[in-house]
Every structure is written in C-alpha cells, then in structure tokens.
Amino acid sequence: MTAARTTAATGRAWVFGDDLNTDLLAPGAYMKFGIAEIARHCLESVDPRFAAEVRPGDIVFAGRNFGAGSSREQAAEVLRHLGVACVVARSFSGIYYRNGFNLGLPLLVCPEAATVAPGAPVACDLDRACVHDLSTHRVLACEPIPAHLVAMIRDGGLLPHLEKRLAAQRAANLPTP
C-alpha cells in the first residue's frame, strides 16, 4: 500500500508548452519494460535532461492539453515514479486527468501555468488550489479540486483509497467483543 501523500509540495519548476502527449511522457518504444525504464525516457524528446535531473518535490508546469493521446496509465505513473509532486497546466486531456488522480498524481488546472520561469522555486497547495512562485512572490490561483479527489491523493491514489474505505466499512460492521 502506498503511504499517504501530502497536499502541499515545494520544488523546482519544470516548464513545458502545449500538447505534451502521452507518447512524450511514456514513449511507446519502452512500454514493454517496467516503469523504471519507461521513466528514464520521460520527456526525452522535449528536454533530454528531464528524467535525469528532476528531483522529488519538483513541479511540472505546462500549457494546454497536457496528456493528450492514448489512455496509457504509465504516462501519469512515470511522473509519480520520478517524484514529481504535482503537474500544473492550463488544461489536461480528460483521460489523463482521471489517470493522474487514480494513480495519486496531483493535477492543478491553472490559466497562468506557463508564466512560471523554468527552475524557479515553487510550492503548490492542493487544499487551497494555488501555486506560489517563490521567486516572484506571486500566487497563481487554480481551479479547486473536489474534496473526494484530494482525499484520494492523500491516500496515494484510487486503489489505496478504496482499500482504506473498505477497511473502515469492515471495521464498522464487525461485532464488538
């Protein structure tokens, strides 16, 4: 079971443009390998340094249509595997948005996502639906995330969230000795 995740994170900004599709995130040529190998090639055709230099807590910023393309869950899982704390974009493809939350990867929709400078220190706060650009002291407002999705993130994704709920239900139905 995945450990509970926080809903606030601080790291460096990795800034990309529009239409980062699932094949850029999890290249098809590596899909027959495990997630560690796929992650080594994440975004290599856009920024060859990304997979080697991204650190736990870093935050990815992008423009419109992040995660378009196939329904491959590995496109969200690679970012989580690399330690990306959150993805902030102007918009997400529908299936990527759902896959991200299902796998415990926080996603924030923010009209000003692409205005953050690459490498800037940033902090995201899911509970308050905002991003703090620590280099400029700006606060970027994001679309609020429904409480049930924030809870799912805290639990590490859909499966750990369901396991937690089922365990609570079982505990509530057990007779007391």
Per-residue pLDDT reduced to its tens digit, 115-162:
999 999 999 999 999 999 999 999 999 999 999 999 999 999 998 888
Binning pLDDT at 50, 70 and 90, where does residue 174 land?
low
What's the rounded Cα separation, in Å, for the pair 133 and 138?
Answer: 5
Tell me the per-residue pLDDT of 44-100, one tens digit each, with 9 for 90 and over. Answer: 999 999 999 999 999 999 999 999 998 899 999 999 999 999 999 999 999 999 999
Residue 34 confidence (pLDDT): 94
pLDDT of residue 166 exceeding 90: no
- What would the two tokens of residue 166 be? 């089922």
Please, what's the largest Cα pairwise distance for the chain? 61
Q: Which run of H or E residues covers position 51?
A: helix 50-53
pLDDT of residue 177 exceeding 80: no
Binning pLDDT at 50, 70 and 90, where does residue 169 land?
confident
Q: Residue 136: which residues within 8 A CB-CB, separation 6 or more?
A: 120
Mean pLDDT value of segment 94-111 = 95
Q: How many helices (H) and strands (E) does the chain have?
A: 7, 7
Residue 17 confidence (pLDDT): 96
Tell me the per-residue pLDDT of 17-42, one tens digit each, with 9 for 90 and over. Answer: 999 999 999 999 999 999 999 999 99
Residue 175 confidence (pLDDT): 55
CB 45 within 8 A of CB 23: no
Binning pLDDT at 50, 70 and 90, where does residue 5 land?
very low
What's the rounded Cα separation, in Å, for the pair 139 and 125?
Answer: 10
